């Protein structure tokens, strides 16, 4: 549990290091051409990922992580 928190804080510090005077991670607005493509979205195909989440929720003990689930199921 503590490892999780440390990693989480580390990422937060890394991404916000501009406040420490370091060069911030990221790009200028005119460098977002590739990031704006559909294939570069974190959840580019939400219907696919929701169907997958539902299958794995029904068959495995772990679930979630990426987003909230879509309304549970009896899944017997």
Partner 1 sequence: MQLKKLSKLSLALAQASGALLSATSGAAHAQTENFGWQIDSAVLYYQEADGRVRAIEPVVSMKKDFGDEKIFNMKLVLDSLTGASPNGAPPANVAQTFTSPSGGASYTTAPGELPLDETFKDTRGAISSSWQQPIAPDLRLNVGGNISAEYDFQSIAANAALAKDTNNKNTTLSAGINLEFDNIMPVGGAPVGLTRTSLKLPTGDEGEGGPSKSKFITDMLFGVTQVLSRQALMQVNYGISLANGYQTDPYKMLAVLNGDTLVPTANYLYEKRPETRTKHSLYSQFKYHFTEDVVDLSYRYTTDDWGISSHTWDTRYRFEISNGLYLEPHARWYTQSEADFYKPYLVQGTDVTAGGVALVGFATADSRMSAFDATTFGAKIGKAFEDESEISLRVEQYKQVSQTKNNLPTGDLAGQKLVPDLSALLIQFGYSFRW
- Contact residues for partner 1, defined by CB under 8 A: 1, 4-5, 7-8, 11-12, 14-16, 18, 24-51, 53-56, 59-74, 76
Both tokens of 34, joined, read 């590739």
CB of 21 or CB of 38, closer to partner 1: 38
Both tokens of 38, joined, read 């559909």
Phi, psi of 38 (to 5 degrees): -60, -40
Shortest separation between residue 63's beta carbon and partner 1, angstroms: 8
CB atoms within 10 A of CB 49: 14
Shortest separation between residue 56's beta carbon and partner 1, angstroms: 8
């Amino acid at each position: 549990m503590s490892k999780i928190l440390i990693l989480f804080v580390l990422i937060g510090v890394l991404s916000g290091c501009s406040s420490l005077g370091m060069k911030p991670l990221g790009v200028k607005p005119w460098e977002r051409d590739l990031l704006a493509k559909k294939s570069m979205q974190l959840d580019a195909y939400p219907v696919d990922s929701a169907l997958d989440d539902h299958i794995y929720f029904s068959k495995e003990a772990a679930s979630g992580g990426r987003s909230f689930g879509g309304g549970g199921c009896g899944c017997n």
